[in-house]
């Protein structure tokens, strides 16, 4: 398939910019052609930023949702809004017959996620969740390596998610740093990248013990979290995440097998970081017919192309609502342990802060 994949986006902020920029810079078949935001200024800023990347870009900017959804030339619509706004927009987009793509985090609660999945099933449209780092070349290669018999069973995995967020970041919007607005703190909104790769490569958690706190910011949610536990596969894990770093962002992942180990920093192999047992295996990107870009970055364009291929009936690796649910469930298990101060085994507890308690009671 060489026909352009045309998509629209709801939200004129950074997520839409990064998706479109990735597609432009990598000369992708996926093309952003329409944007809806109730803020004209946001859309104009987005358009100006993208025109600096590609001066020939044209983009339909629509401040009315009904006008945006009336288009019949969109392969799918990306919902790139704050977490609290996603569910009603999923209902509107699916109700208009468009395939739905939700930017991570998928949902604030499992109940929201299940409702999104149900709404899309009832409307007979697809539901994908943006998880672009799954499609980074070294993550794909890591998947092939750790699943190879020569690597042996994975016995241990570690995620360190280190982010810098100043108080001004949280103060710029009243929904930031709140349970109702974001559904969580660093674990839900920044470490979601690494949590998703863990779920992609090793699956769901079996048990978790965790603690969390808000140490350096005036916010409701956590800015520091640590967890340890075990995957359903039997592998042990440690997760640590914070937005209290002074500069830069870094995601570090380690996987230890019986006969090998590997480490990723920002989703690229760390040279000399370990022994890669077994043969070098071409990443699954080739099997999907998507060429990796030379820089090793830009996973958005890869995933958006795969979504487009999938909605047109081609075989393509997707991140469905059910796939993203594994990441969300792992996240909620950590939150439940921090709320209870005890181990969580495949499951439930409650209590952290009042808003969190009512929201997290949906975990079943």
Q: Taking 50 as the threshold, does the pLDDT of residue 283 lie above it?
A: no
Structure tokens at 15: 């997520």
Check residue 272 and give its pLDDT: 53
Check residue 204 and give its pLDDT: 97
118, 192, 327, 360 from 351: Cα distances, Å: 27, 22, 21, 8
134, 252, 316 from 281: Cα distances, Å: 16, 22, 19
Q: Write out the DSSP string of 201-218.
A: HH--EEEEEEEEE--SS-
Q: Taking 70 as the threshold, does the pLDDT of residue 298 lie above it?
A: no
| Section 157-169 average pLDDT | 97
Report whether 262 contacts 145 (CB < 8 A): yes
264 or 281, greater pLDDT:
264
Pick the range with the lowest mean pLDDT from 166-180, 227-241, 266-280: 266-280
Query: Angle of helix 14-25 relative to helix 299-311, nearest 10 degrees?
Result: 90
Check residue 341 and give its pLDDT: 79
Check residue 86 and give its pLDDT: 98
Q: What value, to the nearest 5°, has the Cα angle with vertex 132 and ends 131 and 138?
A: 120
Check residue 282 and give its pLDDT: 43
Residue 189, SS3?
helix
Grade residue 333 by pLDDT with cuts at 50, 70 and 90. Answer: very high
23, 63, 98, 358 from 60: Cα distances, Å: 17, 10, 17, 40
Average pLDDT in the chain: 89
**What is the chain's Cα-based Rg?**
20
- Write out pLDDT tens, residues 113-144: 999 999 999 999 999 999 999 999 999 999 99
- Write out pLDDT tens, residues 172-206: 999 999 999 999 999 999 999 999 999 999 999 99
Check residue 83 and give its pLDDT: 97
55 or 339, greater pLDDT:
55
Domains of the chain: residue spans and CATH: 5-132 (3.40.50.720), 133-282+321-360 (3.30.360.10)
| Section 22-35 average pLDDT | 96
Measured distance CA(16)–CA(356) in Å, rounded: 28
Reading phi first (left if > 0) and then psi (alpha if -120 to 50, else beta), residue 323 is in alpha
């Amino acid at each position: 398939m060489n026909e352009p994949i045309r998509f629209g986006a709801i939200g004129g902020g950074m997520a839409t910019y990064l998706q479109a920029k990735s597609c432009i810079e990598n000369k992708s078949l996926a093309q952003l052609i329409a944007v809806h935001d109730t803020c004209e200024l946001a859309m104009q800023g987005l358009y100006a930023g993208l025109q600096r990347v590609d001066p020939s870009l044209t983009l339909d900017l629509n401040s009315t949702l009904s006008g945006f959804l009336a288009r019949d030339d969109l392969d799918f619509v990306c919902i790139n809004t704050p977490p609290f706004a996603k569910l009603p927009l999923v209902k509107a987009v699916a109700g208009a017959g468009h395939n739905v793509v939700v930017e991570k985090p998928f949902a604030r609660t499992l109940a929201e996620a299940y409702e999104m999945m149900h709404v899309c099933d009832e409307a007979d449209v697809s539901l994908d969740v943006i998880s672009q780092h799954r499609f980074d070349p070294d993550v794909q290669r890591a998947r092939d390596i750790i699943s190879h018999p020569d690597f042996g069973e994975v016995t241990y995995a570690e995620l360190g998610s280190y982010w810098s967020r100043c108080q001004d970041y949280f103060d710029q919007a009243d929904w930031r740093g709140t349970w109702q607005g974001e559904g969580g703190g660093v674990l839900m909104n920044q470490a979601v990248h690494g949590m998703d790769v863990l779920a992609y490569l090793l699956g769901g958690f079996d048990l978790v013990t965790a603690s969390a706190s808000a140490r350096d910011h005036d916010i409701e949610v956590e800015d520091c979290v640590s967890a340890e536990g075990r995957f359903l596969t039997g592998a042990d894990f440690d997760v640590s995440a914070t937005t209290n770093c002074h500069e830069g962002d870094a995601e570090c992942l380690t996987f230890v097998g019986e006969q090998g180990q590997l480490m990723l920093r920002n989703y690229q192999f760390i040279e000399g970081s370990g022994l890669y047992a077994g043969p070098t295996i071409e990443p699954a990107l080739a099997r999907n017919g998507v060429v990796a870009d030379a820089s090793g970055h830009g996973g958005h364009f890869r995933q958006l192309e795969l979504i487009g291929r999938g909605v047109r009936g081609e075989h393509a690796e997707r991140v469905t609502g059910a796939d993203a649910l594994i990441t969300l469930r792992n996240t909620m298990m950590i939150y439940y342990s921090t709320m209870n101060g005890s181990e969580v085994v495949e499951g439930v507890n409650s209590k952290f802060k009042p808003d969190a308690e009512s929201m997290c009671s949906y975990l079943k």
